[in-house]
Amino acid sequence: MSALSGRRIAGDHFVIYVRFTLNPGMREAYLALVKPVLEGIASDPLCKTTIVHTDDENPDDIVLYEIWEGTRERFMREETVKPYRADYARTLPSLLAKPAEAHWLRPTAEWYSAMLPTDGPA
């Protein structure tokens, strides 16, 4: 395997990639709203990583990137009903300028990243 070919990913995993366009000035409100969800999934062994991205050039855009073990069906059945998601699901529509753009992706290979420290959540 070449250095650029990456490692194959074992088992069932999927990625949720969501782009949000917020109403003007709602970035901090969104980040406060998503924090309890991030804290809830931090202890979920099936969540492999979650990254919230902000865009310096478009401050009303947020991208949420999550990698989960399992299937989309299991996620929809079991994860979306967890109590720590209730306020997020109820409040998020009021922060959005337009409907979120969500994609369900299947990872095929990975490369090592040293972007974040390994000493736990911030």
Amino acid identity for residue 28 in this structure: E
Residue 113 covered by a domain: no
> What pLDDT, on a 0 to 100 scale, did the predictor assign at position 73?
94
Instruction: With a cut of 80, say whether residue 101 has pLDDT above it.
Output: yes
How much is the mean pLDDT over the chain? Answer: 87
Q: At what angle do helices 27-41 and 86-95 cross, to 10 degrees?
A: 160
> What pLDDT, on a 0 to 100 scale, did the predictor assign at position 108?
79
Q: What does the pLDDT average to over 98-107? A: 94
* Residue 5 pLDDT grade (very low, low, confident, very high; cuts 50, 70, 90): low
Give the count of domains, the chain: 1
Cα 3 to chain centroid distance, Å, stands at 28
* C-alpha separations of 48 from 113, 118, 119 in Å: 14, 13, 15
Of residues 108 and 36, more confidently modeled: 36
* Residue 6 pLDDT grade (very low, low, confident, very high; cuts 50, 70, 90): low
Q: How far is Cα 12 from Cα 70, in angstroms, rounded to an integer?
A: 5
Residue 3 covered by a domain: no
Residue 1 covered by a domain: no
CATH number at 77 reads: 3.30.70.100
Task: List the beta strands (DSSP E) in the chain.
Answer: 7-8, 13-21, 47-54, 61-69, 101-105, 109-110
pLDDT tens digits for range 46-95: 999 999 999 999 999 999 999 999 999 999 999 999 999 999 999 999 99
Residue 114 covered by a domain: no
Domain of 37 in residue numbering reads as 9-108
Lowest-pLDDT range of 23-27, 105-109, 111-115: 111-115
Residue 119 covered by a domain: no
Residue 115 covered by a domain: no
Residue 45 covered by a domain: yes
Contact present, 50 and 64 (Cβ < 8 Å): yes
